[in-house]
């Protein structure tokens, strides 16, 4: 005799694939893929909007060649025909993406050189500015945040908050102009723009971490402050600080553009300013694409680490 299955009249629930629990590796790959799609889509959209906004800017379509008496009528006509082809933004952007897949970034008429050469020559200067700005902002922010956590002095905390708030309100171009007037390196202005974000975030994070039970236990056992910081505090700060690193890179990159313009540093910021004055469409599209790509990639990096940071600190 075989056991018979009793039909209760109820249908067993079936789990769809979306309802099943994903493995950690699969979940990470899925999140990474979603952020990668967002990065590519936002960067391409930023390039398209940059190409479209240039066309509605005052003075677009006016050729300097019209005022050059040394050019022939045929040369002026050829330049105007090239301008006419670039006026159709969708046609231009489609051809630009086709050339981008083959490594062709276009030709800058205002600079008289290929865009790839201009970007390659000026990228190193911008990277130096970013390195000085990010490193200086982190050193200054942590140098003020650690004493505010250890001393818990109302006077010190109030003074540090006022200083951080002051630099948070001043535009980077104004800071660069002040450094230019006093004869100091303008790249320090980028560090002062990054510093308030690092100070406020790290101070609040350190206060929360030092209030955790295992840190309080280590203090009660009489461990040295340096050992508590190295073995009990810093491991909990790794995730949140890495998330903050992505944000500070984005902030520093945005501040580097006006700083390079004001201080006349030969970087991407100065190049963007000259391209905007000349209505150089190929150069502006590439620079807009780079700015959008760096900003979205840095923010996505922070978003990927944000859940880990929350679990580690709270």
Mean pLDDT for all residues in the chain: 80
Could you tell me which residues come within 8 angstroms of residue 314 by beta carbon, excluding any fewer than 6 positions away?
A: 208
Say if pTM beats, i.e. exceeds, 0.85: no
User: How is residue 183 annotated by DSSP?
Assistant: T
Beta bridge partners of 149: none
CA 95/CA 115 separation, integer angstroms: 15
Q: Which two tokens stand for residue 275?
A: 């391209």
pLDDT in tens, 222-281: 888 888 888 888 888 887 888 888 889 989 998 999 999 999 899 999 999 988 888 888
The gap from C-alpha 228 to its chain's centroid, in whole angstroms, comes to 33
pLDDT in tens, 32-64: 788 788 888 888 888 888 777 777 766 565 555
3-class secondary structure, 171: coil
Q: What's the pLDDT at 70?
A: 63
Summarize the confidence of residues 138-143 as an average pLDDT. Answer: 93
Q: What's the pLDDT at 86?
A: 63
CA 122/CA 266 separation, integer angstroms: 6
pLDDT in tens, 84-113: 666 677 888 888 888 888 888 888 878 889
3-class secondary structure, 294: helix
Say whether pLDDT at 1 is over 50.
no
C-alpha separations of 261 from 66, 99, 225, 257, 286 in Å: 28, 29, 44, 6, 18
Q: Which residues of 161-173 are buried (b: 16+ CB within 10 A; e: fewer)?
A: bebbeebeeeebb
Question: Which residue in 77, 203, 54 sits closest to 143, CA to CA?
Answer: 203
Give phi and psi for 62, each to the nearest 5: -85, 120
Say whether pLDDT at 19 is over 50.
no
């Amino acid at each position: 005799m075989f056991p018979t299955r009793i039909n209760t009249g109820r249908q067993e629930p079936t789990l769809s694939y979306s309802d099943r629990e994903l493995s950690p590796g699969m979940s990470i790959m899925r999140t990474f893929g979603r952020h990668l799609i967002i990065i590519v889509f936002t960067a391409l959209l930023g390039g398209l909007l940059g190409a479209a906004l240039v066309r509605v800017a005052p003075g677009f379509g006016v050729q300097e060649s019209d005022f050059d008496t040394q050019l022939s009528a045929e040369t002026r006509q050829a330049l105007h025909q090239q301008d006419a082809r670039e006026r159709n933004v969708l046609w231009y952007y489609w051809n630009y993406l086709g050339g981008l897949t083959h490594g062709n970034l276009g030709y800058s008429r205002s600079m008289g050189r290929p865009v790839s050469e201009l970007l390659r020559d000026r990228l190193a200067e911008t990277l130096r500015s970013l390195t000085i700005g990010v490193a200086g902002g982190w050193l200054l922010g942590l140098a003020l945040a650690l004493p505010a956590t250890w001393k818990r002095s109302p006077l010190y905390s109030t003074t540090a908050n006022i200083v951080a708030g002051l630099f948070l309100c001043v535009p980077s171009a104004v800071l660069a102009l002040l450094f230019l007037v006093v004869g100091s390196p303008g790249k320090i202005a980028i560090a002062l723009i990054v510093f308030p974000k690092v100070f406020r975030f790290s101070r609040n994070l350190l206060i929360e971490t030092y209030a955790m039970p295992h840190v309080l236990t280590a203090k009660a056992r009489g461990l040295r402050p340096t050992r508590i910081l190295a073995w009990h505090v810093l491991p909990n700060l790794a995730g949140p600080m890495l998330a903050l690193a992505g944000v500070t890179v984005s902030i520093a990159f945005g501040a580097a553009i006006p700083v390079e313009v004001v201080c006349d540093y030969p970087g991407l910021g100065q190049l963007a300013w000259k391209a905007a004055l000349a209505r150089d469409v190929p150069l502006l599209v590439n620079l807009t694409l780079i700015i959008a790509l760096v900003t979205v990639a840095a923010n996505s990096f922070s978003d990927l680490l944000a859940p880990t940071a929350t679990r580690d600190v709270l």
